[in-house]
Amino acid sequence: MRSNLLKVLALGDVVGPLGVGAVSSELRKIKHSLGAELVLVNGENSYIGNGLDSASADAIFRAGADVITGGNHSLHLHDMHDRFDEDPFILRPINLSPRSPGKGYTVFQLKNGKRILVISACGQVFMDPANSPFYAVDKLLEELDGKYDFAIADLHAEATSEKHAFFRAFDGRINIMYGTHTHVQTADEMLLPKGSACISDLGMCGVVESVLGVKIETIVKKYMTGVSDRFSKAEGDVALCGALFSLDMDSGFVTAVERVRVVVPQAKCR
């Protein structure tokens, strides 16, 4: 029987040049070996001092990503704002001020003609001020009704409670939902009752021997002494973390969600 499965690979926050290097070196191979047709990457920490720069965006796309989603650091680099406005596949959270540069969703067309709505949103709990992601996404789905076939959302947020509430709120309306931002992969991937799938956090594409991608000594000193040095990105082998979702395009149900974690030696990340 003909399989009508769409495999979607989502990777969590790419952290710094080594994260970008690991994506550049390995993403295409991983995409091929997992049979992923659509690849989404959260790129808001790709630049060395956070944010997304043009060279990193180019490298992530060249490596096989179709859409780059965002978060609280997306608009950090002012000279990227025009690109956020113009590039249809680079997103910032939808629930920022409507006057922010860029946009929070895109519709990606697959080779078979199916239209995939990809939404980038951010949370409100323990995060920079933003409007309600629940309201913004609900309104968007209503506005775009009939203009897409399947939907995917990256909720860039700190609190698992907010993420799980979001997943339950949109079960059956957004097929694939995942969290980013904490840089720590969670083990709560699940299929939901109305056919969607979710995981609280994909984890990061960043250096393993680090605290969330930052040099260990810098962060430990901050917590030990209360003195904050300039954050510098860690060095070492990189783990590419994310999840692979299998979407049955006949039923619209996600049939599987699996965590992905591939360690890339530092020497391959240049």
* Total residues interacting with Fe ion, rule: CB under 5 A: 3
Which residue from 25, 42, 69, 72 is in contact with Fe ion, where contact means CB under 5 A?
A: 72
Nearest CB to Fe ion, comparing residues 71 and 213: 71
Q: Based on the shown chain and the rule CB under 5 A, indicate whether residue 182 belongs to the binding site for Fe ion.
A: no
Q: Give the residue closest to Fe ion by C-beta.
A: 71
Q: Is 92 in the site for Fe ion (CB under 5 A)?
A: no
Write a three-state SS string for the chain.
CCCCEEEEEEECCECHHHHHHHHHHHHHHHHHHHCCCEEEEECCCCCCCCCCCHHHHHHHHHCCCCEEECCCCCCCCHHHHHHHHHCCCECCCCCCCCCCCCCCEEEEECCCCCEEEEEEEECCCCCCCCCCHHHHHHHHHHHCCCCCCEEEEEEECCCHHHHHHHHHHCCCCCCEEEEECCCCCCCCCEECCCCCEEECCCCCEEECCCECCECHHHHHHHHHHCCCCCCCECCCCEEEEEEEEEEECCCCCEEEEEEEEEEECHHHCC
Q: Binding of Fe ion at residue 71 (CB under 5 A)? A: yes
Q: Pick between residue 64 and residue 123 the one whose CB is nearest to Fe ion.
A: 123
Site residues (CB under 5 A) for Fe ion, limited to 204-223? none
Nearer to Fe ion, 120 or 175 (CB): 120
Catalytically annotated residues: 73
The verdict on 181 binding Fe ion (CB under 5 A) reads yes
User: Mask of contacts with Fe ion, 139-178, x by CB under 5 A?
Assistant: ----------------------------------------
Question: Smallest distance from the beta carbon of 100 to Fe ion, in angstroms?
Answer: 15
Question: Smaller CB distance to Fe ion: residue 31 or 73?
Answer: 73
CB of 158 to Fe ion, least distance (A): 8
Binding residues for Fe ion (CB under 5 A): 71-72, 181
